[in-house]
């Protein structure tokens, strides 16, 4: 089982995430939090060694948090965007939907389409609460269970972003199939949504092509007297016999070794100006890997970041922002020693990428021994490596906390009893949580830029509005949130590049005031990108 301690360095309660965590690495509200592996119920003979190692890892992560790396040279600017002009709110007659429409109306640069079931806007008295005379507000009918109705809505209003807040009397028809109908209609009938599938990334290495595989050569610890061995080769996968690369070998610490590496050198200075990170499509073995980039051919100096994989038949999409690549010299972090206020000696220049390497090593990027490292064989299948741009979400989905909990193992239910035993999980009427999870999967698998928001219990009576927003990932959160604050989150992520390709839970702390906009943006940035597109268990 994958376990990550998710918490805030600001004093908020920690959260514990497991295999239901969508991302591969976890960041707390104030920055990075080191991820570790843990098997529930497992005993170990080297507990003190593991504890000491992980404590040291956390200390190193704390040093990294003291100073955020500045934006990489040439990377695109994060934050709000001018890409969104017209937002369609589906489910506008509901309690949250009305609030979202009113909030978006306050943004004078946005056109808002308030869409709901035919007649529901009038019958629920919604019109009185909206600025129906505003030229920037349009009312529309839509039946999300009828594809023709959804297609007509998309064609007529041509939105840049869709916010899904549809309530459900039939979970399967709305929460699951309705979302699938929506994403299918957007891809089939909206050129701008279809273009968003590809126009925010650039292919660097396609391992279906033999020529790209041949660019990589092994550079293992044998150069230092070690005995590890690795290679990159092509294999056929799937019914269509498509080809991918597999980085595999055997790593050993004999003769002071402990790493395997495949490197594409002499790339000639690839210019990735305008891009924000690397996107890897992989199928792993549960082990940790690193990726190294170089701006020059200076020996033993790289920019690197680590990522974890999950042993599964499912493919993962790993997104690694350039700002997380740390300078390393001879295996250790390269700190600044010039008397300046900056923490690190160098920052990555994305306009001049000279080499790219994949590494499996006993060392993490800080130069310390990884607590998760094990000697022996390894294999990482790689479909592609791309550069990606941060973009605002095209689809924003209001889901719910607890959607994964009906599918927890008995060990998970015992370990996280306070989260597993809440009434909605015990009752799960009509499998509503399962259908919401299926709907999430349809969105994640669509390829469209998205954000999925999972609020905890909605409570407008005892939970004050404009309270501190607490974000977490892993579906362990038990809490409450006012609908006004849910709407505020949805309205924020519509214009935030930091929210895209992320699934997260949100609750509020009523003893503290809500964050300022800049702080809220940092909190969204600190959340991990999703790497798993499918979470609903196979039958």
Instruction: Enumerate domains of the chain plus CATH numbers.
Output: 86-198+391-526 (3.40.50.720), 204-388 (2.60.120.430)
Token reading at 418: 């306070």
Query: Residue 366: its pLDDT value, please?
Result: 79
Nearest to 273 by CA among 205, 202, 342: 202
Nearest to 85 by CA among 494, 417, 424: 494
Query: Residue 75: its pLDDT value, please?
Result: 56
Q: How far is CA 432 from the centre of its chain?
A: 24
* 519, 469 Cβ separation under 8 angstroms: no
* 166, 436 Cβ separation under 8 angstroms: no
Query: Residue 76: its pLDDT value, please?
Result: 54
Residues 6+ apart with CB under 8 A from 87: 104, 110, 111, 112, 113, 159, 160, 161, 162, 163, 494
Residues 6+ apart with CB under 8 A from 70: 323, 347
* 332, 369 Cβ separation under 8 angstroms: no
Q: How far is CA 222 from the centre of its chain?
A: 36
Burial label, 429 (beta-carbon count in 10 A; 0-12, 13-18, 19+): exposed
Residue 246 pairs in a beta bridge with: 233, 381
Whole-number Å distance between alpha carbons of 372 and 363:
10
Query: Residue 539: its pLDDT value, please?
Result: 66
* 397, 530 Cβ separation under 8 angstroms: no
The SS3 call for residue 215 is coil
Q: How far is CA 134 from the centre of its chain?
A: 36
Query: Residue 29: its pLDDT value, please?
Result: 30
Token reading at 415: 């370990």
Token reading at 59: 């200390």
Indicate the pairing of strand 467-472 with strand 502-513: antiparallel
pTM above 0.95, yes or no: no
Token reading at 450: 């998205």
Whole-number Å distance between alpha carbons of 57 and 12:
21
Question: Over 66-132, what HEC string results?
Answer: CCCCCCCECCCCCCCCCCCCEEEEECCCCHHHHHHHHHHHCCCCCEEEEEECCCHHHHCCHHHHCCC
Burial label, 422 (beta-carbon count in 10 A; 0-12, 13-18, 19+): middle
Tens-place pLDDT, residues 415-449: 999 999 999 999 999 999 999 999 999 999 999 99
Instruction: Return left, alpha or beta for 405; rule: phi > 0 is left, psi -120 to 50 is alpha, else beta.
Output: alpha
Query: Residue 132: its pLDDT value, please?
Result: 67
Residues 6+ apart with CB under 8 A from 122: none
User: Position of tokens 């990735």?
Assistant: 272
Query: Residue 134: its pLDDT value, please?
Result: 79
Helices (H), ranges, 190-306: 191-195, 210-213
Instruction: Give the C-alpha distances (Å, rounded to integers) separating 409 from 20, 75, 429.
Output: 11, 42, 20
- Name residues of the chain where pLDDT drops below 50: 1-18, 25-55, 58, 61-72, 78-82
Maximal C-alpha separation, the chain? 78
In 142-192, the DSSP E strands lie at 161-164
Q: How far is CA 20 from the centre of its chain?
A: 13
The SS3 call for residue 252 is coil
Whole-number Å distance between alpha carbons of 448 and 445:
8
């Amino acid at each position: 089982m994958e376990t990550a301690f998710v918490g805030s360095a600001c004093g908020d309660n920690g959260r514990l995430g497991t295999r239901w965590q969508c991302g591969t690495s976890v960041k707390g509200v104030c920055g990075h939090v080191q991820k570790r592996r843990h098997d529930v119920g497992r005993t170990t003979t080297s507990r003190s060694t593991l504890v000491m190692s992980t404590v040291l890892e956390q200390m190193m992560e704390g040093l990294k948090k003291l100073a955020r790396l500045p934006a990489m040279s040439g990377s695109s600017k994060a934050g709000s965007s001018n890409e969104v002009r017209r937002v369609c709110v589906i489910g506008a007659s509901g309690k949250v939907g009305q609030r979202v429409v009113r909030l978006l109306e306050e943004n004078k640069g946005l056109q808002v389409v308030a869409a709901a079931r035919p007649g529901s806007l009038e019958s629920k008295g919604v019109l009185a609460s909206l600025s129906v005379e505003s030229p920037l507000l349009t009312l529309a009918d839509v039946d999300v269970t009828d594809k023709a109705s959804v297609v007509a809505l998309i064609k007529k209003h041509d939105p840049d972003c869709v916010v899904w807040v549809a309530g459900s009397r039939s979970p399967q028809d709305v929460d699951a199939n309705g979302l699938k109908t929506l994403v299918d209609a957007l891809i089939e009938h909206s050129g701008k949504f279809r273009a968003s599938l590809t126009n925010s990334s650039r292919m660097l290495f396609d391992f279906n092509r033999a020529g790209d595989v041949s660019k990589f050569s092994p550079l293992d610890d044998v150069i230092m007297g070690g005995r590890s061995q690795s290679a990159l080769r092509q294999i056929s996968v799937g019914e269509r016999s498509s080809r991918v690369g597999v980085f595999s070998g055997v790593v050993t610490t004999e003769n002071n070794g402990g790493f395997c590496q495949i490197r594409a050198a002499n790339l000639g200075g690839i210019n990735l100006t305008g891009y924000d990170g690397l996107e890897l499509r992989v199928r792993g073995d549960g082990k940790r890997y690193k990726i190294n980039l170089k701006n020059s051919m200076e020996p033993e100096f790289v920019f690197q970041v680590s990522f974890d994989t999950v042993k599964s038949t499912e493919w993962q999409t790993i997104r690694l922002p350039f700002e997380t690549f740390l300078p390393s010299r001879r295996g250790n972090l390269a700190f600044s020693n010039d008397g300046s206020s900056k923490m690190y000696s160098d920052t990555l220049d994305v306009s001049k990428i000279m080499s790219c390497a994949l590494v499996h090593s006993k060392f993490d990027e800080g130069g310390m021994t990884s607590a998760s490292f094990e000697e022996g064989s390894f294999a990482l299948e790689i479909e592609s490596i791309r550069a990606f741009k941060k973009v605002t979400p095209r689809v924003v989905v209001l889901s719910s906390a607890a959607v994964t909990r009906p599918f927890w193992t008995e060990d998970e239910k015992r370990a996280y009893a306070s989260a597993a035993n809440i009434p909605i999980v015990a009752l799960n009427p009509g499998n509503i949580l399962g259908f919401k999870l299926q709907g999430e999967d349809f969105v994640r698998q669509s390829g469209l830029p998205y954000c999925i928001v999972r609020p905890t219990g909605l409570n407008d009576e005892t939970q004050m509005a404009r309270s501190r927003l607490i974000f977490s990932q892993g579906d362990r959160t038990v809490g409450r949130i006012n609908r006004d604050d849910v709407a505020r989150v949805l309205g924020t992520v519509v214009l935030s590049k930091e929210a895209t390709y992320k699934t997260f839970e949100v609750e509020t702390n009523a003893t503290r005031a809500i964050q300022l906009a800049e702080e809220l943006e940092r909190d969204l940035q600190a959340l991990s990108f999703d790497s798993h597109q499918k979470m609903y268990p196979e039958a």
